Every structure is written in C-alpha cells, then in structure tokens.
Structure 1
Amino acid sequence: MELEFEQVLGTPALLSIAGGAVLALLALIIWLKVHPLLALVGVSLVTAFAAGIPAESVMDVLIAGFGDTMGEVALLVGLGAMFARVVEISGGAKALSDSLIGRFGEERAPLALGIASLLFGIPIFFDAAFMVMLPIVFSVARRLGGGVLMYALPAGAALTTMHVLLPPHPGAVAATVFLGADVGLVLLLGLLVGVPTWYISGYLYGVWIGRRIVLPVPEILVGGPQARPEDEEGRRPPRPAAILGLLALPLALIFMNTGLSTAVDTGVLPETAWISVLTVLGSTPIALLITVFVAMYVLGTRRGYGRGFLEDLFDNALKPIAPVILITGAGGMFGGVLLASGIGDALAETLRGIGLPLIVSTFVIAALLRIALGTATVAITTSAGLLSASILAADLNPVQAAAMVIALAGGSSVVSHVNDASFWLIGRLLGMDVITTFKTWTVIKTLVGVVAFGFASLIYVVAS
C-alpha cells in the first residue's frame, strides 16, 4: 500500500527499525514461544509506529498487507487442500506415487518429483503448484520413509526456481518489460539456467539436508480424524493416468489463459467477450476450482462416494490449513508495513551509485531489497525500475539483456525469512519450526538466487 506521507527518517534509521523488527520476531517466536500470528501482528503494529506511518493510516496499512497476501494465498491453498484431500482419500496419490517409484526406482524418487515439479512450475504460480504436488510428495514419503523433507524440498525448489526465473510469472515479466528484453529469449535462457540451478540448489542440497533433518509426514492434508468409508478397502485405486489427467487440467487451463492474454496483448486476436471469459476460466484460482469440481466427480461421485461424505471431507480438509493461511497473511502484513514505510525507496536511492559492474549491481540491489521487504515481486520491480535507464543506456545485445533479467530475478530470490509469506507457508505445510525453515527453505532460496546469478553472469560475459 502506497501512502501519501513525508518520511522524515533516513535510510540508516529505517533499516535499523526493520532489522530490530526481524530480531524481535525471532526472539518472540523462537525463545519466548509466542504464536507466530500474535508475534507478526504485534511486531507489525509496533514497526508501523516506529517507522513514522501516520497513526490514522496504520490500520489501513496492516489490513492492506494482510488482505493482499490473503487474496493471493487463501483461495489457492484452500482449493489446493480440497483437491489434495480427495486425491489422497481415493487412493490416487498412492497409485501415482507407486507408478513413479516403479518407473524411476526408489533411489530416484526425489529426482522424479523434482522433474515433475519443474514442468508444473512453468505456468502455475508457486503456491498453487505446491498444493497440487503436495499429496503426491506426501504419499511417496509415507511409502519410502526417510522423512518428508527429502522429497518435498526438491519439489518445492523446482517450483520456486521456475516461479522466480521464467515468464509468465510476474517478477520475470516486470523485469523483462523494464529492461527492454525479449520475452522469448528470457524464457529460453530461464530454462537453460533454471534446470541446472534447480539441480544444484534444490535437488542436491534438498536431498542432502532432507537426509539430515528427518521429519515425519505432516497430517495437515488428512483433515482430521475422520475414517475412510466402510467399503474403502474393496475399492480399486484410480489409474495413475486419471491422476495425471487431473494434474494436467489446471496446467492446460492456465496455459490457455497465458496464450490468449499474449495473443490479445500483441494484437494477434481481438479482445472479444468469449476470449475474456476463457481468460477468466484460465486464471489460477478458477483453474483450481474447476479441477476440484472435476476431481469430485472422477475420484468421488463416480467411485460411489456420497455427497454427504464429500462435503464432510472438504470441510475437514480446510480446518488444518486455517493457521497456515492466517500466519501467511500476517507475514504479508509485516512485509506490507516495511514497504509502506518507505524502506524500499530509501534503500534503492542509496544503492543507485554503488559503482559495481552493471550485472553485479542488478543482483545486489535486488537481493538487498528482497531481504529488506520480503517480497520478490516488489524487489524485482523496484530494482528494474531503478536500473532500467542505466541498462537501456548501456546498449546491450539481446542475450545480455536477457541475462540481466535472470540476474535480477536471482537477486529477488535470496534469503527468504520472516517477512516473506512463502517462508511461513512452506514451514507450516511441512511441519517445520522457524529454525528448521531457515536451515532448509532459506538456504535453498538463497542458493537458487546465487547459482542463477552465476550462470547469468557467465552468459553475459560470453555474449559480450
């Protein structure tokens, strides 16, 4: 939320306030064992006053930060949990996991999950894709043992790598536009950089740390203690092809949305009423909604589950994720306060003349804004806007411009921590405490950013 007020505090004071707020959050949650929701809301309130936000605007800022994040997360996580529950209860998750293990072998199960996630992560936003993949990940982890992280981290890392580096995800699109790069070339280089980046950062490290931090498979998707139907043991599980079809449905709808939107924006197709309707149907929340309805029939009604059972199933599926959604929204509230206080603008102006090589400065500025504000999209958009004049004036060739976008996107990934909504989402869904989330998700996000920057820098130099 942008406020019309004059910030009288300087950058050192604002950064000190932001750093103190993060330390206060860690102390409250880790040492004093205050519930994260209470800690995040309380620290957000104190930070808003300390940063000089006018008292009459404080509540608006808090609610806007919370609401914006909830608007992005709540529907996706809620619908994803409902889909995950019907896939799990029908035996579909087990059937698909058995098929994956049969084809790839037990030793390669994390690799198989990661490759599948790379494909799903290209068009689908991180939150939605993670919820769709979660029942499959949990089923594989239950069957093979060894802890959930060894399977979940490579998959989550694949999704976030695609989300950070590739169009049509918002950060990469914004950077491409600001820096005058070619979207097709950014997509191509993003794939060339993204796959080895994921393998190094997400697969190798994810499996390594997952074997050292062994956590049980969370019961968050079970949706309470309700039993399966009495005749469940007599049912044949769905075919793996049916589950793959359901997983591909939102993928196809979102691809339709992306294709039609691009065709309209480029003038290939006129903006008719039918195209507008199809574009809405391909938006991520509606695509997931359609997928849940289809799954209700294919995995529920057609297999003999009664309407009452399905209603109870979905009702119970939503109960365990309420804390996840609320804590994630509160994390967005904290990030919104930092953003509204002007910390990003003050930091960006300070970094304008740091004198580093152009591609290094893009990464450093995006990284520092990401650490300060907690949102990758804002960090990459602010950085791109700040540097666009310098980059356009440098008269880069198309490959260098695309490499610059990848470097900027890499910087926006690093050091996910308590002001980042995904930090809380991943931590809570996988049953991790704050310290464990730092050891796993924060490290993976940082590795993704640094490794992607390294590859982008190599391409930039070679293309010079």
Structure 2
Amino acid sequence: MDDWVQTLSTPALLSIALVAIAVLLVMIIKFKVHPLLALVIVSIATAFATRIPISEIQDVLIDGFGATLGEVALLVGLGAMFGRLAEISGGAQALSDALIRRFGDKRAPFALGVASLLFGFPIFFDAAFMVMLPIIFSVARRLGGSVLLYVLPAAAALSTMHVFLPPHPGAVASTVLLGGDVGLTILIGIVVAVPTWYIAGYLYGTFIGKRIDLPVPDLLSGGPRVETVEDPPKPSTIIALLMLPLVLIFANTAVTTAARTGTLDAESPWVTVPQVIGSTPVALLITVLVSTYVLALRRGRTADYVEDLLDNALKPIAPVVLITGAGGMFGAVLLASGIGDALAETLRDLGLPLIVSTFIIAAILRIALGTATVAITTSAGLLGASIMAAGLNPVQTVAMILTLAAGSSIFPHVNDASFWLIGKLLGMDVPTTFKTWSVIKTLISIVGFALSGVVYVIASV
C-alpha cells in the first residue's frame, strides 16, 4: 500500500462512500440481510470500487477486522462474564437497590449518569461501559420501563468524558499535536464536558428513552432474568469489584504519564508492572478472577457450576463481536481508499474561520471514516501549523483542542464499530440506534463545539 497512489478524485471517492453506506442500509433495513454479511459484502465491493490494489484487499479487510476485534472481543467477553457473575450472585440487584434507596426512583438515570462521569474520567469508554452495564441493567429491571432511559444517560456520560478529557487518546493526541497544556485541557475540559453531558446525554437521553420502549436484553447476562437471591453480596462488595479494574487502569495511566514526563524511569518495575496489570484486558481479567472467587466459589458454588455459568455468558455475545469487527473492516476500507486525505486537503482551502474549519474538518472526517482518532490526528496534522502560528493564548489553544474533539465525535453510523457495539449490546435495530446513539453523539458534538466556542470568545477578550 505504501507505493499505491489513489487516482480517483475527491468527488468520486465521496460518491463511492455515500453509495456504499446507502447500499449497506438498504440491505440491512429493507432486505433484512444479516449485518455481518452486509458489512463484509459492502466492504469488499467498496475496496474494488475505490481501486485498492487487488493484492492488498484481503490484507486491508483482515487487518481492519482483526484490529477491531483485538480491542473489542476480550472486553466484551470478560465484561459478559463479570456481568453474569454479578447478576447470578444477586450483587447487581443489591447495588441497584442501594442506588435507588439513595437517589430515589425518579433520579436513578441521573445517578447512573453521575457515576459514569466519575468512572469515565480515567477509564476508556468501552471498558467502563462493560463494567457499568450489569448495574444499569439491574436498575432497569428493578424500576421497569425502557432500558434506554437508564443506559443512554450513563453511556453519554462515559462518551463525553472520553471525548474531551485526557488521558483518553483523542484528547491526548489533539493536545500534543496542537501544543496545548494537559492540565489546562483537563480543567477546561471538565467545564465543557459536564454541561455537555447534562444537555445532550441526560436531557435528550431521558427524553428519547421514555419514548422508545426497549426491554432489558438477556444478551449480556447470558440468560433470562435471575430470581431474587436470599443472601446477596453487600453493595460495598460489588462497588469494590467495580472499582478494581478502574483502579488498575488508572494506575497504568498515572505511571505512564509519570514515565513520559521523566518523573519515573520508564524501565522501572514501578512503571512496567502497573502498565501490564493495568492494561484494560488484563485489568478486566483480574476482576473476573477475583469476582469468580468472591461471588461464586466463596459462596459455595462448585467449579463445574462456575464453568457452565461463564460459558453461557459468552455464547450470546458472538454476534456482537463479529458484527463490531465487520464494522471496523468497513471503516478500514474507507481509510485505505484515501478518502480522508482527499477530503481534508479540500476542506482546508475553504477559507472559514479557524475554529469553524477545525470543527467541520474533524466532523466530516469522522463521518466519512468512522474513527475519531484518525479524524483528530488528520485534522490536527493539517491545521496544527496554522493554529500554532495564529498566536493563540493557552486558553484559546485549549478551546481549539476541545473543538477538534467535539468534531471528531459527531454522528456515528454504520462505518463505526461503536455504532454496532452499542446497538447490538442493547438489542436495538439500525433505525433505533440512529435515533438514540447517533443523535446523542451528534448533540454531544454540537453542544461541545458551542461551549468550546464560548470559551474561545471569552479567552479572546
């Protein structure tokens, strides 16, 4: 691929991408083709249409599929195991009852959202979502109504923190590429992220959650609803198990940052050991092992029972993992076609105000490619020199960083692996996923951009 040069024009590439997305939607929605088959077929057809060398197509498809599975499969699998252990022991129900007693029935979505804001600060979206999901499902079962009423505010909180704040990859990349201050980015990022979540995640999430009736899925728990357990674990036990992966992952983040700044030796065991046990899959693995003992073996369950329990937890998630991987495959084909570079070069010459062009370029690249990280790095690479040469003060620079992050989170759709992950974990069809998750992410993007613009204007005075 290094020697291959795309000869198609930007309009031609954009047309191919739009047609591919339209065909994919028609296949899934109109003709009821299974999403996995539809994604693979459209990915192959798009690769041929964009003239990716035939000898490279297989590698592009497999690499895109494999890279996505490498991030998703273990997280979803281990998360499903933890969820089933928490549910079958009665621990998830005990914690949900405690939350409801503390905050009340009507404020349960708000309480879950606030908890997710706290969890989402140090922890990546996918890991925190898988940890929180069993608790959210348990609260939804306890109170009744659509599961979306409880999931959407919490998922939006996790996503908002992931979008705007270091140590999450997009925020870190944009801060580094634009020469921003990490501490100032965190401080102003919180000021932008919290009201963004409240408007886009909580208000819209509860609004649409009340209007779309979606039952709590059995998918993650590996079975139907569990009857009340006579002697469930204490809520504090479940909180400790929830905090375990978060503490491990946060320790990884802390020592990595210290090593990067020279505070700690990068080769020291004080750095390397937390980095290993604090990597997301290992942290979740440790949590599952500890949970197996605390929630099952110590409570009299046999090893055979636990093996069967965890095996059943994994069976329903295979479609989720495969479809998510296929979504990553489609995104990889669009990326390999060169559409991102072509679009970025065209958009850079529009002559718009710098903060507006930053948002538009990041947003269009995100919609076209389905990956926030590539949208951020490409946009920052194109605009970084202009931004750093504009004589911006530190607060204005942070406003540009947050604008870039906001643009890169807009409107996830069928070329985005997270679109399929959220939709399938919650048992939503494609139109429902558009009306819920895609709209919430778009609102997060727009509200975040607006608040970043306010910060920029205030800093300019």
What is the aligned partner in structure 1 of residue 35 from structure 2? 36
Q: Which residue of 2 is the match for residue 242 of structure 1?
A: 237
1:265 aligns with 2:260: yes
1:302 corresponds in structure 2 to: 298
Task: Quote the RMSD (CA, aligned, Å).
Answer: 1.2
Matches within 5 A, 1:61-210: 61-210=60-209
**1:441 aligns to 2:437 (yes or no):** yes
State which of 437, 451, 458 in structure 2 corresponds to 1:455: 451
Unpaired segments ≥5 residues, structure 1? none
Q: Give the distance between the partners of 2:366 and 2:151, measured in 1 at CA.
A: 24
For 2:188 and 2:321, locate their aligned partners in 1 and report how far apart those are by CA, in whole Å: 34
> Which runs of no fewer than 5 residues in structure 2 stay unpaired?
none
State the distance in 1 between where 2:146 and 2:2 align.
46
1:3–1:340: 8 Å Cα contact kept in structure 2?
A: no
* 2:324 corresponding residue in structure 1: 328
Secondary structure (helix, strand or coil) at the match of 2:388 reads helix
Give the drift of 1:233.
6.4
Q: 2:285 aligns with which of 279, 286, 289?
A: 289
Deviations 1:321-379 (A, max 9, x none): 11000000000000000000000000001011111111111100000000000011111
Give the AA of the match of 2:283: A
Listed one character per residue, the Cα deviations across residues 71-100 of structure 1 (whole Å, up to 9, x for unaligned) are 111111111111111011111110000000
Distance in 1 separating the partners of 2:366 and 2:274: 34
Q: Which residue matches 2:409?
A: 413
Correspondences of 1:17-56 after superposition (within 5 Å): 17-56=16-55
Normalising to structure 1: TM-score of the pair?
0.97
| Letter of the 2:35 counterpart | P
Question: Retained in 1: the 8 A contact 2:80–2:221?
Answer: no
Counterpart-to-counterpart distance in 2, 1:193 and 1:305: 47
Amino acid corresponding to residue 117 of structure 1 in structure 2:
S
| Alignment-derived partner of residue 254 in structure 1 | 249
Compute the displacement of 1:271 (Å): 2.1
Matched to 2:420, the amino acid is W
Partner secondary structure for residue 218 of structure 1: coil
Residue 46 of structure 2 aligns with an amino acid whose one-letter code is T
Q: CA shift at 1:177, angstroms?
A: 0.4
Q: How high is the sequence identity, in percent, across the aligned residues?
A: 70
Instruction: Provide the C-alpha distance between the structure 1 equivalents of 2:314 and 2:350, rounded to a whole number of angstroms.
Output: 48
| Counterpart Cα distance in 2 of 1:417 and 1:267 | 40
Cα separation, 1, equivalents of 2:212 and 2:386: 45
Asked if 1:380 is matched to 2:376, the reply is yes
Q: Which amino acid aligns with 1:294?
A: V
User: Could you tell me whether the CA contact under 8 Å between 1:415 and 1:445 is conserved in 2?
Assistant: yes
- Are residues 7 and 233 of structure 1, via their aligned partners in 2, closer, same or farther at CA, if it must alter by over 3 Å? closer
d(CA) in 2 for partners of 1:204, 1:383: 30
Displacement, 1:270? 1.1
CA drift of 1:234 comes to 6.5
Counterpart residue type for residue 362 of structure 1: T
Q: Deviations over 1:286-315 (max 9, x none)?
A: 111111111111111111111111111111
Aligned to 1:426: 422
Q: Which residue is 2:308 aligned to?
A: 312
Q: What is the count of residue pairs matched by the alignment? A: 459
Contact persistence 1:37–1:326 (CA under 8 A): yes
